[in-house]
A and B are shown apart, each in its own frame.
Chain A
């Protein structure tokens, strides 16, 4: 990274409060592939000069996987602890790198006393494009590439965010090809509801393989993702079909960074 990543603790020590907290999430913190996306989101924030910070080692799981798997007790323990940390730093606005963190903090924390303005990084990118602060120039050209967006459940159906991630792709000089099952009809990657952490129940195929049918049919050269769990599932799907040369799976933050040569 060109610049040091600012933490809330450092900022507080200097008596500063950032404009926005970047909530990285567990996958963004630990998963090697997702770490790269996390750094790209930081690059975007730095590029446009937003005063941001991360929680660093003070961040914890939002409780999403516990809640979806039925462990409400564990979820609320984490939520209340996180709310104490967030309120301790007087945080008002949060951008997340994961639709699951986004959904949980935005929708489920208010009932437990945590009230913040929460956006997903696709919405941040859309805002920056609308404000003219982000363009698609000075970097890699996506001209003529067939790009498809895979809607994450907790961004799309869960929170009705369908246009923001597409805005990040529409700005590219490229062909946006919708998958057969898209937007409110989008097919899950198979990771949600705790499935990421367990073996699937017996069936005739894996859900990400079913999703590959749509991707192959659309002849997508780039599959754009906006969720680290979808990223894992889609990448596995592409690998399974030996299509790594033909199909790239990229987060919209990575695409934005590449298009701008950041």
Chain B
């Protein structure tokens, strides 16, 4: 009875804290500017099913894809087991599904155990890739102490959770063989039965092992749930809405800024009266709140895998630009803006901005807008959109483009070509041979 009360309190606190943090992230995302992604819902469901659920963009790197698939399927399926643990915890029952499900339960437990072993193996390989092999993709200026630790914490937690799960089952299995108390025969336990011989033979000790692992496993899961909002691992949730709200246009299509359209129309046609858009908006983005909510959602979705940076031509050739850093900086700045909002209220200015305090101009001007980053992202994040918005701010609000680009702008404006040629000579190619 006491155990049930403790369980319910822990569960309640965990769910409350998680909901609170999720609400905060949602609030932060909605600090972004509006952009309409409510169209083409059937196409959007398809993209989500393909990219997030089906993981189709992971296959470009087959080894990572297979290992990630184990962890992903393991995570989703083992949740059925967590459901049983929850019910057992609340009602004080033991393996409540085993009796009604019968043979199916045996099969399910078998599947969970095999998956748990695969998850365990995958996480160990992932740890080795990060800490022993030192894969280049997991390095870079933005991969400072915290992002590296974050990745390791996630993997170690998953290894511990899976180990506890298998040890719990092994102890349970052994107790079942001893026909001890309420530990009735529930299945064949294909993986944990193999480690059962390591455990002591004493029933009382086994029961302690089983209970400790049970509590460790479920408290671990609830703690991990509450770690998500502080971690890159939040992608397991946001990958779904983020792919649903994907940009469905050709990647080459950049947005046309409506605020600029009004000004240009008024310039070309003095009789044009623009529709009032309310307060004058800033051109482009200086800070995170100038970006769209979709850009901000992408920042929280990024799990720092580095596929974008590994295909970026600027990064490959040693320039400062790293698309992953663009996303991480956006997220970190947004978190800071959100915290300021909580601490100091709406009108506080901390004197910082995404531009210059986080992302330097040198990074922004190194981009070739080739879209390799956007194409490589397994969850359809587009760092290029943020880069473009920030260039727009530098050019249109500050007039601080590099001098050579200002020359190009001047030529385009005056000669209709990016070079210093006269428009009158534009057709001369027809005469040359």
Contact = CB atoms under 8 A, between A and B. Distances in A.
Interface of A: 1, 4-5, 7, 24, 26, 28-30, 32, 35, 38-39, 54, 56-57, 59-61, 63, 65-74, 76-78, 80-81, 103, 106-108, 111-112, 153-154, 157-160, 184-188, 190-207, 209-210
Contacts of A106: 250
Interface residues of B, number: 70
A91 B318 CA distance: 45
A30 B412 contact: no
Interface string B49-71: 00000000000100000000000
B317 A157 contact: no
B423 A196 contact: no
29 contacts: A26-B416, A29-B421, A29-B428, A57-B424, A57-B426, A61-B412, A61-B418, A69-B408, A70-B388, A70-B401, A72-B283, A74-B412, A80-B264, A80-B268, A107-B249, A107-B252, A112-B261, A153-B369, A153-B370, A157-B370, A157-B375, A159-B252, A185-B375, A187-B316, A192-B368, A197-B404, A197-B407, A199-B404, A207-B317
Given A76-B261, A157-B370, A69 B249 contact: no
A56 B365 CA distance: 33
Given A198-B365, A200-B319, A204-B318, A188 B372 contact: yes
Interface stretch (B105-113, B182-190, B392-400): B392-400
A184 B375 CA distance: 7
Nearest to B260: A72
Contacts, number: 223
B200 interface: no
B313 A207 contact: yes
B433 A39 contact: yes
B413 A74 contact: yes
A187 B419 CA distance: 26
A190 B368 contact: yes
Given A190-B313, A198-B365, 7 more contacts: A28-B429, A30-B421, A69-B391, A71-B392, A107-B253, A197-B407, A201-B314
A83 B378 CA distance: 37
Nearest to B387: A193
Main secondary structure of the interface of B (DSSP, over half): helix
A200 to B, nearest CB: 7
B395 A112 contact: no
Given A26-B417, A70-B392, A107-B249, A77 B426 contact: no
Contacts of A39: 429-430, 433
Contacts of A71: 392, 395-396, 401, 409
Interface string B333-368: 000000000000000000000000000001001111
The 9 closest A-B pairs by CB, nearest first: A158-B252, A70-B391, A204-B318, A193-B369, A60-B416, A107-B253, A203-B318, A188-B370, A70-B395
A21 B390 CA distance: 35
Contacts of A199: 404
B274 interface: no
Given A69-B409, A70-B394, A72-B283, A210 B316 contact: yes
B263 interface: yes
A234 B250 CA distance: 26
Contacts of B428: 29
A69 B254 CA distance: 12
B311 interface: yes
Contacts of A72: 256-257, 260, 283-284, 392, 396
B317 A206 contact: yes
